[in-house]
Structure 1
Amino acid sequence: MCVIRKSTQVIMEHLDTYIYELIAKKLSDQCNEAESATLQQWLDASADNQAEYAILTQLWQDSPRAITPKREYNTAAAWQKTNKTLQPATGKIRAIGLKYAAAAAILVLLTTGAWWLASRPSLKEQELVANDGKIKSFELPDKSIVTLRQGARIKYINGYHNDQRVVELEGEAFFEIANDPAHPFLVKTPNQSVIEVLGTSFTVQTGKDSTTVIVASGKVKLGAKDDPSAVILASGEKGIWGNGQVSAKHNDDPNFIAWKTGILQFNDQSLLEILPQLADFYAKDIRIDDSYRETASQQKATITFRNQSCDDVLHELQLLLGFHYKQEGDTVVISQ
């Protein structure tokens, strides 16, 4: 058993144990959709991977094990449990060789209180991009839900980093954070701003030089790292960070997550105010003819659109307000 322990330690020092974590999660019915997909890719990569998975599955089925994972990591206690757990399968371990014996030891270790592996040198980084022209919604390992707007990119690790849940965001996303006060949730952006989650749900829009945060529920803190001037935003508030400065105000935009809900609402707003929001929502260039701008600033509408095409929306506004529009190349031009 000492040989198995030594070999396992060597493997854990030189190999990424992420796949073994996924196997342990899969066998204990705790894999989420993204993790299951990653494991399936590993299985599809080679027949050797499939054979190893089959052997570990058999060892799992033949060995007693702890069912409920714990976050405390006690190396000595974990190894003691591992040794005891492997004893009923000793004959099989000798038969399958040292490589699988060490892998089995890792697998059992992961299921007896070492899920978070605080002692390992690195954690597996994941990256997701909403690059197919559609929004993408998925669940993080901590059960938080993230919805990426088209073109957004997020990076995260499969566990905790310094007792924190950390993601890196480019673009725009809506976050619904799982409650875990012991492990703060941080969103880092390319412009060096940091959002620390103190509540539940919010949207983040990152730019080259600024970050905009709008809180739907709960509270978040917005500022640079270790910034004493960071502001705490409550539900219904909007914060903007840029050039080392941060400001906060009431959010008066009911359409701040229209890209996620598909619902656009306008309450007594002028055509001059409505059209930029349509341009952002539909990712189109919509221009008002200079001769029509003054009239457009006086024409107002109270109307709601639900999952409608840009052409349908413009047609309804045309019937309501009486303007004309036409396509000129990639630009929609509004005129009298």
Structure 2
Amino acid sequence: MTLNKQIDTKLLLKYINKTADAKEIEQVNAWLEEDKLNENTILQMAKIYHQQCTLERIKQRNSDKALRVVQQRIRNKSRRIFIQRTTVAASLLIGLLGIGSFLLQYRQEESPMITVSTNAGMRSQLTLPDNTIVYLNAASTITYPSRYTSNKREVQLSGEAYFKVVHDPARPFIVHTSDERVNVRVLGTEFTLQAYEKDKLIQATLVEGSVQVGVRGKKGSVLMFPDDKVTYDIENDKIYRRKVNTTQETAWMRGCLIFKDTPMPEVLRQLANFYSVEFNVVDEVIHNYTFTGAFENKPLFQILDYMKISSKINYVMSYPEDQDERKPTIKLMKIK
């Protein structure tokens, strides 16, 4: 695993504002050596950081001067750097366990906002300002403030993420889904939340501690305990709770896919996100199937071959002429 896949936003900010220690500086310098893209990344980040910080900070420091300081430190490494100065929101490729899309969006607010997105097939790990650790699954986006200034710690999620929340009784941690339908409120705990925008279900699974799940328009909230999985059915406006195997529910963090009598639509959704493909189900009866299997870092064709044997489903994979615009498409047909 290379450094450019592990570098932390907080560490880069310390490097930019000269609060990093010798060991941290060495780590960032090594990361800069990994890829020329990393140089552009930190320079754009420096521009954003110093231009869009709070009014007090802007008064104290000159953003262009601060940017030149970072620029000079990298130039001292005798590397030519191209700097883009026209953007105030940078799309950065930093992923963990793959190259994810890392987008920083700083707005004119008291606390600038940061948005991190992963492409389909990628995962990422990040540390929030309160040291809460977040593992972001494929095709997911999280937005959070660069620092917490109120009595609450709030983030917004579209997709799926595992949260390892730092305990802070004075400041509850709240996760909002992107459509604001559901929020999860905790003090300090570990849980997953799955809320993809196009999905009809929003699901929360508790690994450790306790959380409260609130649904817009419903009175009160659902109190969850370890091994609980709460599902909100958007179409039927109903909430369900059941006990689950949390090891299976969090297997994606380890690069694993585990299915146990899983409905085929859910299987295909997970495979589509994990491998960055699209499925075209020719025979509708396939949607009624269930699927069981465990796969650790397996190529997609091996899973499809297993599905062909176990579920009698044939597949044909096609690749678009323009690789930049469309994903590979997999046509699924029942074997007769």
AA of the residue aligned to 2:230: G
Q: In the alignment, which residue of structure 2 is the partner of 1:305?
A: 295
Q: In the alignment, which residue of structure 1 is the partner of 2:127?
A: 139
AA of the residue aligned to 2:133: I
TM-score, with length taken from structure 1: 0.57
Deviation, 1:147, is 1.9
Counterpart mapping for 1:1-336 below 5 A: 23=17, 25-26=19-20, 40-41=43-44, 48-49=65-66, 122-131=110-119, 133-192=121-180, 193-208=182-197, 211-224=202-215, 228-241=219-232, 242=234, 247-252=239-244, 255-267=248-260, 269=261, 273=262, 275-283=264-272, 284-285=278-279, 287=281, 289=283, 303-319=293-309, 321=310, 323-327=312-316, 330=329, 331-336=331-336
**Please, what is the CA RMSD of the aligned residues?**
4.3
**DSSP 3-state at the match of 1:171:** strand
1:304–1:247 distance in 2 versus 1, CA, 3 Å: same
Alpha-carbon distance between aligned partners in 2 of 1:20 and 1:310, rounded to the nearest angstrom? 40
- Runs of 5+ consecutive residues of structure 2 not aligned to the other structure: 1-12, 33-37, 49-62, 72-108, 273-277, 319-328
Alpha-carbon distance between aligned partners in 2 of 1:140 and 1:293, rounded to the nearest angstrom? 39
Deviation digits for residues 125-180 of structure 1 (CA, Å, limit 9, x no counterpart) = 11111136412211112111112222211111122242211111122222111222
Instruction: Determine what percentage of the aligned residue pairs are the same residue.
Output: 21
TM-score, with length taken from structure 2: 0.57
Alpha-carbon distance between aligned partners in 2 of 1:132 and 1:263, rounded to the nearest angstrom? 15
Alpha-carbon distance between aligned partners in 2 of 1:186 and 1:176, rounded to the nearest angstrom? 13
Query: What number of residue pairs does the alignment pair up?
Result: 243
- Greater mean deviation of Cα atoms: 221-230 or 276-285: 221-230
Contact 1:42–1:49 (CA under 8 A) maintained in structure 2? no
**DSSP 3-state at the match of 1:26:** coil
- Runs of 5+ consecutive residues of structure 1 not aligned to the other structure: 1-18, 55-120
1:27–1:258 distance in 2 versus 1, CA, 3 Å: closer
Alpha-carbon distance between aligned partners in 1 of 2:68 and 2:311, rounded to the nearest angstrom? 70
Deviation, 1:29, is 8.1
Contact 1:231–1:246 (CA under 8 A) maintained in structure 2? no
Q: Which is greater in Rg?
A: 1
1:140–1:293 distance in 2 versus 1, CA, 3 Å: closer
Task: Determine which structure has the larger helix proportion and give its number.
Answer: 1
Q: In the alignment, which residue of structure 2 is the partner of 1:5?
A: none
